[in-house]
């Protein structure tokens, strides 16, 4: 009887993973959601998505994570799914310098089709395969840091889906960046009081928690079993954004697509 608190509502965030074919986008998603790794993955065709519930800084989130096809020939199949995104992971592989060169193109493609403002959107740069031998590395951490600075991207992390290194941290980094940008947007709204959208009173009240978070990345998994590939009720009420999204951008359909 003691613990009768009503269940906390989960915020739904749409995350899109982009990058050249073979950098390990699908492996990253599989490791994060199911804690599995497969050596021989098929190329993704179009898009696929999976859900993952996590708790960060005491708040519950459902991440709806879209894995996209990195091959150019699937461009028309993947781009319609960029709209309504909250976070974008730009991936390259540490043993493939071309995949780093491609990041700018991926970012531009995303900005075009998601219709968001570059400097107000949470991009996370993810260098995958950091388990490789040092002699196989083609991309230095420093060179990517420099590229990120030029693009005004503040979040960069190296991961390994194979060795399960920093994979959850990459998604949490995205979430924290999203939260930070929401706080900034909220502060701007307060500052320009005359432009506050009065149709969103509930959303603004919810946002009081926004800047209060602390804690580390240790509180990730809500359920621990990581099998979040189901269609969650929360998906029918995706959250609205205060930042980044340009006006009148419709949400991508919340359906279980596998093209």
Q: How far is the CB of 116 from ligand GTP (least distance, A)?
A: 22
Q: Which of 160, 166, 168, 245 binds ligand GTP (CB under 6 A)?
A: 160
Interface mask toward ligand GTP for 55-94; x: CB under 6 A = --------------xxx-----------------------
137 Cβ neighbours under 8 A, 6+ residues apart: 94, 95
Between 25 and 83, whose beta carbon lies closer to ligand GTP? 25
Between 12 and 33, whose beta carbon lies closer to ligand GTP? 33
CA angle, 53 as apex, 52 and 57 as ends, to 5°?
A: 130
Q: Which of 13, 18, 27, 175 binds ligand GTP (CB under 6 A)?
A: 27
Catalogue the long-range contacts made by 202-206 (C-beta closer than 8 Å, 24 or more residues apart).
203/239, 203/240, 203/242
Between 128 and 239, whose beta carbon lies closer to ligand GTP? 128
Distances (CA, A) of 178 to 47, 53, 171, 184, 241: 22, 16, 11, 10, 10
Q: Which of 1, 2, 7, 39 binds ligand GTP (CB under 6 A)?
A: 39
Between 29 and 114, whose beta carbon lies closer to ligand GTP? 29
Residue for token digits 């699937």? 74
* 177: its two tokens: 């960046």
> Is 245 one of the binding residues for ligand GTP (CB under 6 A)?
no
CA angle, 32 as apex, 252 and 119 as ends, to 5°?
A: 50
> Is 132 one of the binding residues for ligand GTP (CB under 6 A)?
yes
Give the other-Cβ count within 10 Å of 39's Cβ: 6
Q: How far is the CB of 87 from ligand GTP (least distance, A)?
A: 17
């Amino acid at each position: 009887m003691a613990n009768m608190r009503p269940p906390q509502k989960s915020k739904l965030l749409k995350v899109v993973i982009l990058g050249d074919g073979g950098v390990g986008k699908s492996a990253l998603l599989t490791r994060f959601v199911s804690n599995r790794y497969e050596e021989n993955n098929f190329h993704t065709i179009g898009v696929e998505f999976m859900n993952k519930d996590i708790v960060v800084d005491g708040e519950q989130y459902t991440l709806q994570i879209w894995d996209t096809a990195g091959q150019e020939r699937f461009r028309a199949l993947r781009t319609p799914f960029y709209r309504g995104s909250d976070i974008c992971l730009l991936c390259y592989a540490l043993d493939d310098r071309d995949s780093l060169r491609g990041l700018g193109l991926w970012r531009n493609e995303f900005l075009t089709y998601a219709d968001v403002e570059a400097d107000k959107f949470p991009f996370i740069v993810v260098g995958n395969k950091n388990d490789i031998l040092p002699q196989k590395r083609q991309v230095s951490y420093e060179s990517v840091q420099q590229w990120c600075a030029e693009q005004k991207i503040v979040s960069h992390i190296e991961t390994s889906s194979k060795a399960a290194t920093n994979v959850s941290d990459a998604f949490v980094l995205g979430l924290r960046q999203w939260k930070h940008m929401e706080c900034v947007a909220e502060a701007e709204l307060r500052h320009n009081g005359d432009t506050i959208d009065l149709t969103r009173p509930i959303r603004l009240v919810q946002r009081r928690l926004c800047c209060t978070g602390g804690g580390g990345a240790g509180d990730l998994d809500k359920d621990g079993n990581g099998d979040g590939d189901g269609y969650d009720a929360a998906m029918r009420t995706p959250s609205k954004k205060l930042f980044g999204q340009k006006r009148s951008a419709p949400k991508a359909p919340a359906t279980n697509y596998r093209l």
